[in-house]
Amino acid sequence: MAEPFLDVRGMRKAFGDFVVWEECNLTLEEGETHAVIGGSGTGKSVLLQTVLGLLQPDSGSIRFRGREIVGADPATRAEIVREVGMLFQDAALFDSMTVGENVGFELAQLKLMDRAGIRDRVAEVLEWVGLSGIEDRDPAQLSGGMRKRVGLARALASGPRLMLYDEPTTGLDPITSDVINELIIYLREKTHTSGLVITHDMPSAYKIADRISMLYQGRLIFTGTPEEVQNTDHPVVSQFVHGRAHGPITDGA
């Protein structure tokens, strides 16, 4: 059987005595969008950072397209994760640069194209996110939803095979959130990228994910389709997804 596109196996991560991930086992198939849900501070961002190679797990394995990220030397790790794009929670745009410079930043840094090529690619990905012609704008003047869209364009510019989404709808109003959800679906169809999304926005997870896993006390305790997650009688998952104050989760964790 072919190896999963992304295969996280037995991944443990602690900060001192504080164990964030007891054991993470997660697979992502090519073309799939997989959402990981869980309370605040439970380790969702830590998962994305380990996949990106920014944090080193204490043990376990993270393989992307058959190549091991954990323990890889920095040059090899950089090469592996070059095919991974990330939409940061705050879009992480450089306010000292124009929108166009932000979107073309990685292409220029890695010298992936000449200037004319970068200009064309920037125009193309801005069109994908519905923001044609804003190359010369200052990111500080953009609304939260527009910043997210520019962040998406930037993440897609170098043609990643896997997109990591760190709470893509957090801080947006419900309508703008849905615009971002629809854009994620549209871009997935257009570019055939796989997606790993962390979120606690359940309408967003139901809409964009093929499968949803719930993180609780350092493990993924449940994985299912959006329908299975919505209808489960698993007490922890049911309490979380239906937002009930009373149940086994007592501290938001």
Ligand X SMILES: Nc1ncnc2c1ncn2[C@@H]1O[C@H](COP(=O)(O)OP(=O)(O)OP(=O)(O)O)[C@@H](O)[C@H]1O
Interface contacts to ligand X, rule CB under 6 A: 15, 20, 38, 40-46
Nearer to ligand X, 46 or 125 (CB): 46
Residue 180 β-bridge partners: none
Question: Cα separation of 212 and 132, whole Å?
Answer: 33
CB of 86 to ligand X, least distance (A): 14
Helix axes 115-128, 144-157, angle to 10 degrees: 130
Least distance in Å: CB of 49 to ligand X? 7
CA–CA gap between residue 200 and residue 157 (Å, rounded)? 27
* Cα torsion 195, 198, 202, 204: sign: negative
Nearer to ligand X, 31 or 39 (CB): 39
Report the residue number, 117 or 252, with the smaller CB distance to ligand X: 252
We find the least distance from the C-beta atom of residue 169 to ligand X, in angstroms, to be 12
Residues 161 and 65: beta-carbon distance below 8 Å? yes
Residues in the chain: 253
**Closer by beta carbon to ligand X, 48 or else 153:** 48
CB-nearer residue toward ligand X: 87 or 99: 87
Q: CB 144 → ligand X: shortest distance, Å? A: 17
Structure tokens at 39: 């309370």
| CA–CA distances in Å: residue 43 to residues 12, 13, 214, 221 | 11, 9, 11, 14
- Taking each continuous run of H as one helix and of E as one strand, the counts in the chain are 10, 10
Task: Quote the least distance from Cβ 244 to ligand X, whole Å.
Answer: 18
At its nearest, how many Å lie between ligand X and the CB of residue 104? Answer: 29
Considering beta carbons, is residue 40 or 109 the nearer one to ligand X?
40
Q: Which has the closest alpha carbon to 215: 242, 236, 244? A: 236
Amino acid at position 88, single letter: F
CB closer to ligand X out of 89 and 232:
89
Q: How far is the CB of 38 from ligand X (least distance, A)?
A: 6
CB 253 within 8 A of CB 39: yes
- Judge whether 114 and 168 are in contact, CB under 8 Å: no
